[in-house]
Amino acid sequence: MDATPSANCLPANQKSTHQQIIPLTQHNSADGLIYRDTDSEHSKRVALSKAFNCSEPDVVFQELPNHVALAFTIHGCPFQCPGCHSEHTWDPNTGHALTDERFESYLKQYRGLISAVVFLGGEWNASALRNKLRIAKQFGLVTCLYSGGNHVSRALRPHLDFVKLGAWKEHLGGLDSPTTNQVFIELKEGELWHDRTYWFQEHLPSTTQNTTVFQTSRGVSYASA
């Protein structure tokens, strides 16, 4: 779930220096990683936890550029990446149950102070997460998921505006690193749409390249299945 985002997020009035943004559906799977859930070991790990417990939410400014977001760290992450900054949340039985009622209570408490919600994990219990995303949408909030996986379920996509994909790999760095394996994707009408990773890398000289060059340099390709 870790992304270690940069403090240099894209201001609301600043235009991107990218020459073009390529829809993800235009990329093939000839090389690099394909964002499909074909890892049987991952499926086994996902089955280990169906609890939906969380830590107390935090107001964050970096995880979703241009937004003030309420972030919920969901306990029981099945990926357990080496070097994870949130190892203390791996046990699904820690934290407190994030029921729909409690979640709605949080949103009422922060109404007018936030413009988005960010879930740090939770996709392993798609049903519970989907309910929370629906509630957030009813409050008029932008929704975002940080996942350590390489795929986001079609059941969740219609309710998401943004998703971070990719395991935390310390030697590659987070979203603000030019060598990162992670991607930050905008969704539109339930489909993976644009790679917005450059939002976290505006301070890097390499971000003047277009998206195709940027993606190829990381050896990453995408699939929307």
Show pLDDT as tens, one digit a residue, over the chain (225 residues): 555 443 333 334 433 333 333 333 333 322 233 333 344 444 444 444 467 999 999 999 999 999 999 999 999 988 888 888 888 888 888 999 999 999 999 999 999 999 999 999 999 999 999 999 999 999 999 999 999 999 899 999 999 999 999 999 999 999 999 999 999 999 999 998 999 999 999 765 543 333 332 333 343 333 333
Tell me whether residue 222 is in a domain: no
| 127: in domain | yes
Residue 17 lies in a domain: no
Helix (H, G, I), strand (E, B) or coil at 161: coil
Those residues whose C-beta lies under 8 Å from the C-beta of residue 37, and which sit 6 or more positions away, are 43, 149, 150, 151, 153
**What is the per-residue pLDDT across 7-61, written as a single tens digit (0 to 9) for each?**
333 334 433 333 333 333 333 322 233 333 344 444 444 444 467 999 999 999 9
pTM of the full structure = 0.71
pLDDT tens digits, 56-72: 999 999 999 999 999 99
| Residue 4 is assigned to a structural domain of this protein | no
In a domain, 224, yes or no: no
Q: Which residue reads 């392993």 in tokens?
A: 124
Task: Please report, rounded to a whole number, the percentage of residues in the chain having pLDDT higher than 70.
Answer: 68
Query: What SS3 class is residue 163?
Result: strand
Q: How many domains does the chain have?
A: 1
Residue 6's contacts (CB-CB under 8 Å, 6 or more residues apart) are 62, 175, 176, 200, 201, 202, 203
How far is it, in rounded angstroms, from Cα 78 to Cα 81? 9
In a domain, 197, yes or no: yes
What CATH number does the domain containing 38 carry?
A: 3.20.20
- Residue 150 domain boundaries: 24-217
Q: Cα separation of 111 and 195, whole Å?
A: 29
